[in-house]
Amino acid sequence: MATVLKTASVPGLGKVQAGEIEVSSVSKSYGVQQFAKDVVKDCSFTVQRHKLTVMIGPSGCGKSTLIRLMAGFERPTSGTITIDGKQVVGPSHDRLVVFQETALFPWMTTYENIMYGPKARGEDTPKTREFAEFLLDKVGLTQFRDKYPNQLSGGMQRRAELARAMINNPSVMLLDEPFRGLDAMTKELMWEYYAALFEETRRTNFFVTTDIDEAIFLADRLLIMTNIPTRVRAVLEVNIPRPRKLKDLVEDDRANDVKMEALSLLHEEAMKSFAGGSKAAADFVEAYSRRIAKR
């Protein structure tokens, strides 16, 4: 059963659903017989209730595949995925996915986009409208509530996207590199908005990235993935107090320790991939070597 966390501070919401996902010995292959490609192999981990779990791994290792399996868009070749003990057999409103591509409807204003889900379910109530206003405020878009997506910057669109997912009160949010492609400063701003939203609600979040600073700034727990076919290589706890500040990334010793450990593990995985001829791994190995040389 999902634990219900009382959150009197969230107007219009009242309670936050927070589920727990268990991924048990999951494998996923594409293609058949001699063309079969193993993408995920015997992978197990838990996305703990009320925590922000971040998955980081080499480019192309199978992270998006895992998100699609957890969302129920695809089925594992073997193994099971459960949410609060119930097997995932298809998509559901209890697991909402935010992708890097914008899914905002261009003909709707920011407010209309956010209210789309509740309206579609016949829940256009004073409470949901109050929650929509709260979310607009939290993502800094109150002044832009009546603008259309093409009148918003890239960062604003991603913030509207977050609010549009959160209003549906899923028990787990799944985010697949939602800030990829944004410039460095906009990205950092997004981390602050997103972390504040997480801290306010303590909803279970699962976030996939290839950006080590993003991973450490956001995570309670960090899953380091192996090269393809992927599984969990290590789980690192990120014990930096919240709310976090960007300067923690450079000033907090715990952040630096986790970063060095994570980079070292990722480097080993990238080297394996590099040996297999991967261009993305070669880029990572070069960037890592430069970073180490600078220290």
Choices 17-25, 56-64, 132-140, 258-266; region in contact with ligand ATP by CB under 6 A = 56-64
Per the CB < 8 A criterion, the answer to whether 206 and 179 are in contact is no
The verdict on 71 binding ligand ATP (CB under 6 A) reads no
Q: Report helix, strand or coil for 83.
A: strand
List the beta bridge partners of residue 28.
Answer: 40
Choices 57-65, 76-84, 85-93, 105-113; region in contact with ligand ATP by CB under 6 A = 57-65
**Closest residue by Cα to residue 167 from 12, 3, 4:** 12
Q: Which is closer to ligand ATP, CB of 63 or CB of 138? A: 63
**Closest residue by Cα to residue 43 from 58, 63, 60:** 63
The verdict on 59 binding ligand ATP (CB under 6 A) reads yes
Residue 19-38 contact track with ligand ATP, rule CB under 6 A, x = bound: -----------x------x-
The verdict on 100 binding ligand ATP (CB under 6 A) reads no
Shortest distance in whole angstroms from residue 281 CB to ligand ATP: 11
**Closest residue by Cα to residue 47 from 216, 182, 232:** 232
Per the CB < 8 A criterion, the answer to whether 267 and 290 are in contact is no
The verdict on 61 binding ligand ATP (CB under 6 A) reads yes
Question: What whole-number distance in Å separates Cα of residue 274 and Cα of residue 42?
Answer: 23
Per the CB < 8 A criterion, the answer to whether 224 and 56 are in contact is yes
The verdict on 41 binding ligand ATP (CB under 6 A) reads no
Count of residues that bind ligand ATP according to CB under 6 A: 13
Whose structure tokens read 């969230």? 10
If one counts every other C-beta atom within 10 angstroms of the C-beta of residue 140, the result is 14
Q: Which is closer to ligand ATP, CB of 15 or CB of 37? A: 37
Provide the residue type at 276 as one letter. G
Choices 7-15, 53-61, 192-200, 237-245; region in contact with ligand ATP by CB under 6 A = 53-61
The verdict on 105 binding ligand ATP (CB under 6 A) reads no
Residue 204-243 contact track with ligand ATP, rule CB under 6 A, x = bound: ------x-----------------x---------------
List the beta bridge partners of residue 225.
Answer: 232
The residue within the footprint of ligand ATP, chosen from 41, 49, 51, 63 (CB under 6 A), is 63
**Closest residue by Cα to residue 118 from 194, 169, 174:** 169
Site residues for ligand ATP per CB under 6 A = 30, 37, 39, 57, 59-65, 210, 228
